[in-house]
Amino acid sequence: MAGQRSLEIVHEYSDRISGAKARRPGLDQLLADARRGRFDVVMTWACDRIARSTRHFLEVLDELNRLNVEFVSFREQIDTGGPLGRAIVVIIGAIAELERSLIVERVRGGMRRARLEGQHIGRPPLDLDRQAIVRDRQHGQSLGQITRAHRISRATVHRVIHEQEPP
């Protein structure tokens, strides 16, 4: 798409975390480079790759607009160069936020149903030998040695030891 428009690709920005997060290293770097004037067009596969929240999406678009950076989405065939493109982006952003909200609601409903059916949600509880952990610590073992021996985290060892201490 960049080649068709005779645009030079300056950098490809990507994140490995959810688009629902407002703070993401790739997006933060893209905005920082836009402020430095490194490019004048942002191209993305889809609008929801930028943000899932309409508010956050519009904040990003507003900042790009203030910086005179055009936003182009391949999937939606949107170009914010004109007012119609901007209006369509707002509508698509609202739909992306609705989609995310529906997904969250379905997950919560499924978890509620599972709890009502008596299913355990989350990780199984740890089976700890609390006396052995405290005994190992009293015999001079380090936290690291205890974590390896009992195959638990350092924080769990610390919590078990402090639970056994008198207040």
Question: Which residue in this structure is represented by tokens 């059916």?
Answer: 117
pLDDT in tens, 11-27: 999 887 765 666 788 88
Low-confidence ranges of the chain (pLDDT < 50): none
Which one-letter DSSP state was computed for residue 121? -
Locate the domains of the chain by residue range. Answer: 25-116, 130-164
In whole angstroms, give the CA distance from residue 106 to residue 26.
29
User: Which CATH number is associated with domain 25-116?
Assistant: 3.40.50.1390
* pLDDT at res. 31: 93
Sign of the C-alpha dihedral computed for residues 93, 98, 102 and 105 taken in this order: positive
* pLDDT at res. 22: 65
Q: Is the pTM of this model over 0.75?
A: no
* pLDDT at res. 15: 84
Residues 161, 128 contacting (CB under 8 angstroms) = no
Beta-sheet strands, E only, within the chain: 41-44, 70-73, 78-79
Q: What is the number of alpha carbons within 13 Å of residue 98 lying toward its C-beta? A: 6
